Amino acid sequence: MNIKSILQKDNFTRDDIIRLLIADDPVDIELIREKAEQALLYKCGSKVFYRGLVEFSNNCVCDCHYCGIRKSNSAVKRFMLSKEEIISAARWCAEQGYGSVVLQSGERHDAAFVDFVEEVIKEIKSATVSQKLPKGAGVTLSIGEQSPQVYERFFKAGAHRYLLRVESSSPQLFSSIHPPSQSLEKRTGCLSALKRIGFQVGTGVMIGLPGQTAENLADDILFFKKMDVDMIGMGPYIVHRDTPMNVYTDYFNINRDKIYHTSLLMIAVCRLVLKDVNIASTTALQALRDDGREMGLRYGANIIMPQTTPVNVRRDYLLYENKPFLDESSEELRKQLDLRILSLGRETALDDWGDSKHFSTEIKWQNAEIKD
Ligand code: SAM
């Protein structure tokens, strides 16, 4: 079946998804992009939602083989922002009209860390209440695997979205990039717990992992569907020199273009399969191409996470080589982004949490089921 015929279907088989992901004819790729853009506009509208990204600490107890801030990387200067610094960044985001913030850090499970995050969430919520944001800024967390009890505390404190990538839904690939102490099963359990508690849940994978196939990526998309997630945050895998996966530097350089194009196709195919979820156009795309994030929006993404981490610590949160926006102020970055989004004919949503349409649809379904 040719690409045009596949794109006419409402539901795609695994084989259809694989076929879309390996498209390499520019005409076919443009057909996929156009269809994904149409699906985005029809299901979610043209607005782009900003989430101010605050990378508040690079302390991490994990040793993921790919990650620049892994525990064993002794070249990293470790930092933890103060409560005041995080709140001031969140307040700045709310004043700019960014309806939401994302608090991201390395993983820690100790009581002091959990108490700290809980307090920060509460203070951000009260510090950002305004006429425009009567319930304060939306708070998304991205701080790794925690117990259901801890997730519950964060939810009660006011966080309402959580991002936890599975990195790969293939147990073999997952094991090849993590130490034996980490498992796909545990991560999937965390996603289920987050959903049960009431979070809008986001997950995602890295694209271009050594050994990863189009079949793996198709299974990742089917995994997102099975888990009924509300948000997708995925991007290219990019080598970091101080990690055990630096042996793949040549592999990465040779496959750089393919990884970039496959990342865009993953966004488009996720949009076509998952329809009304929020999809982020991630910073890692821009590490590969200067206009990478705009291209992500053109392929069906509707979320951008502008960098709002204080400039003095950004270089210490290097997950991968060539991470962009290390020196520009948050103000400059905002101006650049606004212009780039306008140039695409899209508009930025202001003072709006920008919840996933999928989540509200889910809630409506649940309520309808209860009434029945
Ligand atoms: N500790 C939290 C967690 O693991 O979910 C959040 C921080 S973690 C550094 C955020 C994401 O960075 C990971 O989910 C991973 O996909 C991404 N990441 C880390 N190293 C990367 C690399 N070399 N290339 C691309 N993405 C990377």
Task: Examine the pLDDT at 372 and tell me if it is beyond 50.
Answer: no
> What pLDDT does 362 receive?
67
Cβ atoms of 107 and 145 within 8 Å: the answer is yes
Residue 12 lies in a domain: no
Measure 206 CA to ligand 1 centroid, in angstroms: 9
| CA-nearest residue, atom 8 of ligand 1 | 106
Residue 6 lies in a domain: no
Residue 285 lies in a domain: yes
Q: CA gyration radius for the chain?
A: 19
Measure 67 CA to ligand 1 centroid, in angstroms: 6
Ramachandran region of residue 301, left (φ > 0), alpha (ψ -120 to 50) or beta? beta
CATH of the domain at 199: 3.20.20.70
Cα-based distances in Å from 124 to 137, 144, 208, 348: 7, 20, 36, 23
Residue 10 lies in a domain: no
Percent of the chain with pLDDT over 90: 94
Scanning the structure block, which residue is given the tokens 């359990």?
189
3-state secondary structure 67-135: CCCCCCCCCCCCCECCHHHHHHHHHHHHHHCCCEEEEEECCCCCHHHHHHHHHHHHHHHHHCCCCCCCC
Measure 319 CA to ligand 1 centroid, in angstroms: 7
pLDDT by residue (tens digit) across 199-237? 999 999 999 999 999 999 999 999 999 999 999 999 999
Closest by alpha carbon to 356, among 197, 103, 60, 138?
Answer: 138
Q: Region 103-122: what's the mean pLDDT?
A: 98
pLDDT by residue (tens digit) across 276-293? 999 999 999 999 999 999
> What pLDDT does 139 receive?
98
Residue 7 lies in a domain: no
> What pLDDT does 113 receive?
98
> What pLDDT does 1 receive?
86
Q: Can you list the alpha helix ranges (DSSP code H) found in 275-310?
A: 283-288, 292-298
Closest by alpha carbon to 231, among 303, 279, 296?
Answer: 279
CB of 107 closer than 6 angstroms to any ligand 1 atom: yes
Task: Examine the pLDDT at 370 and tell me if it is beyond 70.
Answer: no
Residue 2 lies in a domain: no
> What pLDDT does 255 receive?
97
Scanning the structure block, which residue is given the tokens 């990690």?
243
CB of 182 closer than 6 angstroms to any ligand 1 atom: no
As given in the structure block, the two tokens for residue 62 are 């994990």
Domain that includes residue 57, residue range:
17-371
The region of weakest confidence among 31-40, 156-165, 336-345 is 336-345
Residue 115 lies in a domain: yes
Task: Examine the pLDDT at 45 and tell me if it is beyond 90.
Answer: yes
Task: Examine the pLDDT at 368 and tell me if it is beyond 80.
Answer: no
Task: Examine the pLDDT at 371 and tell me if it is beyond 60.
Answer: no
Domain count, the chain: 1
CB of 284 closer than 6 angstroms to any ligand 1 atom: yes
DSSP β-bridge partners for residue 310? none
How does the average pLDDT of the chain come out, rounded?
A: 96
Percent of the chain with pLDDT over 70: 97
CB of 142 closer than 6 angstroms to any ligand 1 atom: yes
pLDDT by residue (tens digit) across 329-364? 999 999 999 999 999 999 999 999 999 999 976 676
Measure 177 CA to ligand 1 centroid, in angstroms: 12
Measure 165 CA to ligand 1 centroid, in angstroms: 8
CB of 144 closer than 6 angstroms to any ligand 1 atom: yes
Cα-based distances in Å from 194 to 82, 148, 191, 271: 26, 7, 5, 23
To test the pocket of ligand 1, the residue of 62, 73, 206 to mutate (highest count of ligand atoms within 8 Å of its CB) is 206
CB of 143 closer than 6 angstroms to any ligand 1 atom: yes
Residue 69 CA: nearest ligand 1 atom is: 9
